[in-house]
């Protein structure tokens, strides 16, 4: 039987080789099918109580932020659907099945096309900070550069 040498993994980069702390806020917005114009003029918390909510699955970061922000403001939610992907939630809201809380980046195309409307919700703290760690010496391809431009916008 042939013996194989243990596979060697490269050592992790030293801290000074990393670009750490490039942080940006990702606004998480409540969005609604445009067929409900009374909600688009700046809803109050009372307007959102009793709505049918479409949420991410338990344990997702978006859902955790939303639940924390809405717990004391909106009270118990009527959860119509729980879905595991932002795109599925976006499509359900477009179909008029309820309202949702999603990252703005996940619904930017639907907002731009008018399929969804972002509701102003200053009474909900829906800001999320993400951090990015990059190796200083590594090449950054076009895809990564486009991603960085988008999340910093």
Residues 81-97: tens digit of each pLDDT: 999 999 999 999 988 88
Indicate the domain borders of the chain: 25-127
Contact (Cβ atoms closer than 8 angstroms) between residue 103 and residue 28 = yes
Q: What is the DSSP string of 103-117?
A: EHHHHHHHHHHTSSE
Q: Which fold has domain 25-127?
A: D-Maltodextrin-Binding Protein; domain 2 (3.40.190)
Residue 17's pLDDT is what? Answer: 57
Residues 106-117: tens digit of each pLDDT: 888 988 898 888
User: Up-side HSE of residue 145: CA atoms within 13 Å toward CB?
Assistant: 5
Q: Which residues does residue 83 pair with via DSSP β-bridges, in sequence order? A: 56
**Does pTM top 0.75 for this prediction?**
no
Residues 127-139: tens digit of each pLDDT: 877 777 788 788 8
């Amino acid at each position: 039987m042939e013996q194989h040498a243990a596979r060697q993994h490269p050592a992790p980069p030293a801290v000074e080789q990393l670009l750490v702390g490039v942080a940006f806020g990702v606004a998480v917005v409540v969005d609604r099918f445009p067929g409900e114009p009374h909600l688009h003029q700046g809803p109050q918390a009372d307007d959102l109580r009793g709505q049918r909510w479409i949420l991410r699955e338990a344990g997702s970061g978006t859902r955790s932020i939303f639940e924390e922000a809405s717990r004391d403001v909106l009270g118990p939610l009527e959860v119509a659907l729980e879905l595991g992907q932002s795109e599925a939630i976006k499509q359900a809201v477009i179909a008029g099945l309820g309202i949702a809380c999603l990252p703005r980046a996940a619904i930017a195309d639907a907002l731009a096309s008018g399929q969804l409307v972002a509701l102003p919700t200053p009474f909900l703290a829906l800001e999320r900070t993400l951090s990015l760690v990059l190796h200083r010496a590594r090449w950054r391809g076009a895809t990564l550069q486009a991603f960085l431009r988008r999340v910093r916008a």
